[in-house]
């Protein structure tokens, strides 16, 4: 079982903004850790704040850089960039999972790579940056975080619509349609959905989320990523 990395210097360097150490720790504290440690504060309030800043920064960027797109297409692109699937990709790109403060159960069940937890923590970090460094720095952080997705059209497309991207990748390989199975766990007010997707006998991948759709999207993106990696290895060989 991998534990928490408490050396935050590398994370701060990747974020490119100084955040007060106590505020940074709060942003990294998941509710499962808080519950197991006497109900200490967790990152959900920061996540609430960061979600608003994220949405505004992405909206302004898309509006300014895409003068020919109508409202519907702008809304679609914004939704893709602020989705849990896309934010989890951003989080993995900076190695965020290793810094999470998780309860024992979440840690043992793979919480450090769970899309919903990673996405929520990205939003909490944005909120922390706003409180400590101000609106301009928080907006700059958002743009740095989403730029890697925008710079990679294939991955951006996959993050925007992973189920369609996986279906197209499967067709390219001559495989049948992806097949999804979904289960859920937890109480009614806080369910976690677990999806598994199979592309013939070529690849099987899993994903989790707070809804059936989110879990299927996460699984689809993981499967698309694996198919893309295999195609790249085959072309090199």
Q: Is 123 among the annotated ligand-binding positions?
A: yes
Identify whether residues 32 and 69 lie together within a single domain: yes
* pLDDT of 142 above 90: yes
Do the beta carbons of residue 57 and residue 80 sit within 8 Å?
A: no
Three-class SS of residue 121?
Answer: helix
* pLDDT of 199 above 90: yes
The pTM of the full predicted model, rounded to 2 decimals, is 0.79
Q: Find the CATH number of the domain harbouring 53.
A: 1.10.1520.10
Q: Which domain holds residue 76?
A: 8-151
Identify whether residues 99 and 179 lie together within a single domain: no
Mean pLDDT of 48-77: 93
Confidence of residue 211 (pLDDT cuts 50, 70, 90): confident
The residue from 151, 170, 186 where one domain ends is: 151
Confidence of residue 86 (pLDDT cuts 50, 70, 90): confident
Q: Find the CATH number of the domain harbouring 176.
A: 3.30.160.20
pLDDT of residue 237: 60
* pLDDT of 150 above 70: yes
Confidence of residue 2 (pLDDT cuts 50, 70, 90): low
Number of domains forming the structure of the chain: 2
Identify whether residues 167 and 131 lie together within a single domain: no
Strands 179-185 and 203-209: unpaired
Q: Which residues contact 44 (CB under 8 A, 6 or more apart)?
A: 31, 120, 124
Catalytic residue numbers?
51, 123
Asked if residue 172 is part of any domain, the answer here is: yes
pLDDT of residue 161: 83
* pLDDT of 154 above 60: yes
The residue from 151, 170, 193 where one domain ends is: 151
Rounded distance between C-alpha atoms, residue 206 and residue 91, angstroms:
18
* pLDDT of 175 above 90: no
Rounded distance between C-alpha atoms, residue 116 and residue 211, angstroms:
10
Asked if residue 2 is part of any domain, the answer here is: no
Average pLDDT, the chain: 90
Identify whether residues 56 and 106 lie together within a single domain: yes
Residues 15-43: pLDDT tens digits?
A: 999 999 999 999 999 999 999 999 999 99
Q: Is 47 among the annotated ligand-binding positions?
A: yes
pLDDT of residue 114: 86
């Amino acid at each position: 079982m991998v534990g928490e990395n408490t050396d935050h210097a590398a994370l701060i360097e990747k974020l490119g903004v100084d955040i007060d150490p106590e505020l940074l720790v709060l942003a990294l504290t998941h509710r499962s850790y808080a519950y197991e440690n006497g109900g200490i504060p967790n990152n959900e309030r920061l996540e609430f704040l960061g979600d608003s800043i994220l949405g505004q920064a992405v909206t302004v960027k898309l509006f300014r850089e895409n003068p020919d797109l109508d409202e519907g297409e702008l809304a679609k692109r914004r939704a893709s960039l602020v989705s849990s699937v896309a934010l989890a990709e951003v989080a993995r790109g900076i190695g965020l999972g290793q810094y999470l403060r998780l309860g024992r159960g979440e840690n043992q069940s793979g919480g450090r790579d769970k899309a919903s937890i990673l996405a929520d923590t990205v939003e909490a970090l944005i909120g922390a940056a706003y409180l400590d460094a101000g609106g301009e720095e928080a907006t700059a952080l958002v743009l740095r975080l989403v730029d890697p997705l925008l710079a990679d059209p294939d991955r951006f497309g996959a993050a925007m619509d992973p189920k369609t991207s996986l279906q197209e990748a499967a067709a390219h390989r001559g495989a049948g349609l992806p097949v999804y199975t979904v289960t859920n766990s937890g109480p009614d007010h806080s369910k976690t959905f677990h999806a598994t997707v199979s592309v013939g006998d070529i690849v099987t991948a899993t994903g989790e989320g707070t809804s059936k759709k989110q879990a299927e999207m996460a699984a689809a993106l993981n499967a698309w990523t694996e198919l893309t990696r295999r195609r790249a290895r085959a072309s090199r060989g």
